[in-house]
Structure 1
Amino acid sequence: MKFEGTDAYVATDDLTVAVNAAVTLERPLLVKGEPGTGKTELARQVAQSLGMRLIEWNIKSTTKAQQGLYEYDAVSRLRDSQLGDARVHDVKNYIKRGKLWEAFASDEKVVLLIDEIDKADIEFPNDLLQELDQMEFHVYETGETVKARNRPVIIITSNNEKELPDAFLRRCFFHYIRFPDADTLRKIVEVHHPGIKDALLTTALTQFFELREQPGLKKKPSTSEVLDWLKLILAEDLSVEDLRRDGADALPKLHGALLKNEQDVHLFERLAFMARRQR
């Protein structure tokens, strides 16, 4: 049972090695990379490739580690006790299972995605050390210990917004998804936009890499953004001639799909203005 990529996901050799190493070692795979490089989609494609169900735990700034295990609704139990509800006598009626519990309780091996772990508080990863290492946790309200029936394949993504604790990193297999080179990006585009004309794709990718490599750019456009840009180009039925720019540093057509803040737009507007003045 090995991951080799799918028809909908172009996986580089080093990425497939990382996924399979994490599966073999039964350690969480920590995937870092720029936003939009396919980290979340990787988990979905791994699940599809290995024929496993995917359980997604999307982390927010307010997410606590305990929520991944379970949540005890003491308020509802108090209310029901005041109303004389018979449910109050069984505490299990007030315990909501989290995503880790769901993965641990599954009769079949699953893929568990912990998405964007760096959004949470700095203590969040440390609070999961025991559970991810031992594959079990204790439910204090009922006195039971929940153990994983089948150790899940765990994929954890991070946009590198904050450093993760060393104790957490030691328990993971790490992989950084580098931004794809031109050949790999061409393959990715052809998966999403099959049949795109070679001349149009070459012109668009040349402009894209020129824009991405511009010094002073605050946010470099990602893989997902170039795919959106190409989708618009195809929807507008633009030709190679339509993509040609007045100056080397002029803004590309439909640049709103690529540049996502005013500083970067102003940077290219200034460069275009200077290019025109030098003519």
Structure 2
Amino acid sequence: MVRFEGTEHYVATEDLKVAVNAAITLERPLLVKGEPGTGKTELARQVASALGMPLIEWHVKSTTKAAQGLYEYDAVSRLRDSQLGDPRVNDVRNYIRKGKLWQAFEADQRVVLLIDEIDKADIEFPNDLLQELDRMEFFVYETGETIRARHRPVVIITSNNEKELPDAFLRRCFFHFIRFPDAETLARIVEVHFPGIKPSLLSTALTQFFEIRETPGLKKKPSTSEVLDWLKLILAEDLSPEELKRDPHSLLPRLHGALLKNEQDVQLFERLAFMARRRG
């Protein structure tokens, strides 16, 4: 039986590895929740890489309908072609566009199917996929055929927790919440992306990062992906630990645009600095 043990490019905690392998054993979708930027989408890519399986990605938008994952029938093009006398109209299959589930079901080998940010779609979206994900088959009305999965895909579904998912859908998934990494795990993640980073620079940067992240009143806490962007800039600028000291007049970190993504959070640190000066 295939097992996921992480990869050299992705630091997977023990409980995350257990969750992935449990979902594979149970043949149920793995529903992964967590803050944006904690590596949910990347998990699917690394699982595919580790298990030697192709990856099929379905990125969900607010306008996405579940049926699009199965197929779409282009009746307008068929009507136009019939008016032009195109012989293609005689075969309805010429006007059916296969969705991501169809692609996963007909693949010659087992694949990893990523359904990314399922909570972006309307509330009926997850329920509309229940039967197809359960039975691993669906019916194409236009051709009268049933499409069955040749190999059951490893299904990984991500959610940013923007809205509650239906209970009937949750019952069919194995659930895992990716917690924000602690300092030790985050240091391991950084070293994977920036091997050889100086320990003093890493320690200073992460200490400052966690101080910023834990500041009361912060509207959007910086994520793992944002600290990696910040460190990339720090290394590109060749800043020393001493140069990372925050501006006492604003308490903002160097290159703070990589960490703070709205004006309210920037103003929060400026107010804190102003209050600190008054107290001083």
- When residues 246 and 99 of structure 1 are mapped into structure 2, their CA distance, relative to the original with a 3 A threshold, is closer
Alpha-carbon distance in 1 for matches of 2:5, 2:190: 19
Alpha-carbon distance in 2 for matches of 1:74, 1:20: 42
In the other structure, the counterpart of 2:89 is 88
Secondary structure, counterpart of 1:125 in structure 2:
helix
Alpha-carbon distance in 1 for matches of 2:261, 2:196: 28
1:107 CA displacement: 1.2
1:277 CA displacement: 2.2
Alpha-carbon distance in 2 for matches of 1:277, 1:231: 35
Secondary structure, counterpart of 1:112 in structure 2:
strand
- 1:134 is aligned to 2:127: no
AA at the equivalent of 2:227: V
1:246 CA displacement: 4.8
Q: Deviations over 1:130-153 (max 9, x none)?
A: 000000000000000000000000
- Correspondences of 1:18-37 after superposition (within 5 Å): 18-37=19-38
- Correspondences of 1:1-279 after superposition (within 5 Å): 1-247=2-248, 250-279=251-280
Q: Deviations over 1:191-230 (max 9, x none)?
A: 0011111011101100000000011111000000000000
Contact 2:249–2:270 under 8 Å retained in 1: no
The alignment-based identity, stated in percent, is 82
Secondary structure, counterpart of 1:31 in structure 2:
strand
Alpha-carbon distance in 2 for matches of 1:245, 1:26: 50
Q: Number of residue pairs matched?
A: 279
- When residues 37 and 248 of structure 1 are mapped into structure 2, their CA distance, relative to the original with a 3 A threshold, is farther
AA at the equivalent of 2:224: T
Secondary structure, counterpart of 2:125 in structure 1:
coil
Calculate the TM-score normalised by the size of structure 2: 0.98
Secondary structure, counterpart of 2:151 in structure 1:
coil
Q: Deviations over 1:247-272 (max 9, x none)?
A: 49711111110000111110001001
AA at the equivalent of 1:276: R
Calculate the TM-score normalised by the size of structure 1: 0.98
1:85 CA displacement: 1.1
Q: Deviations over 1:112-142 (max 9, x none)?
A: 0000000001100010000000000000000
Contact 2:247–2:253 under 8 Å retained in 1: no
Alpha-carbon distance in 1 for matches of 2:245, 2:79: 68
AA at the equivalent of 2:117: E
1:276 CA displacement: 1.9
1:245 CA displacement: 2.6
Alpha-carbon distance in 1 for matches of 2:52, 2:250: 47
Secondary structure, counterpart of 2:129 in structure 1:
helix
Contact 1:249–1:275 under 8 Å retained in 2: no
Contact 2:57–2:115 under 8 Å retained in 1: yes
Contact 1:217–1:264 under 8 Å retained in 2: yes
Alpha-carbon distance in 2 for matches of 1:257, 1:219: 12
Contact 1:247–1:275 under 8 Å retained in 2: no
Contact 2:249–2:274 under 8 Å retained in 1: no
Which runs of 5 or more structure 2 residues have no equivalent in the other structure? none
Q: Deviations over 1:59-90 (max 9, x none)?
A: 00010001000000000111111111111111
1:278 CA displacement: 2.2
- When residues 194 and 248 of structure 1 are mapped into structure 2, their CA distance, relative to the original with a 3 A threshold, is farther
Alpha-carbon distance in 2 for matches of 1:278, 1:15: 45
AA at the equivalent of 2:93: K
Alpha-carbon distance in 2 for matches of 1:79, 1:240: 66
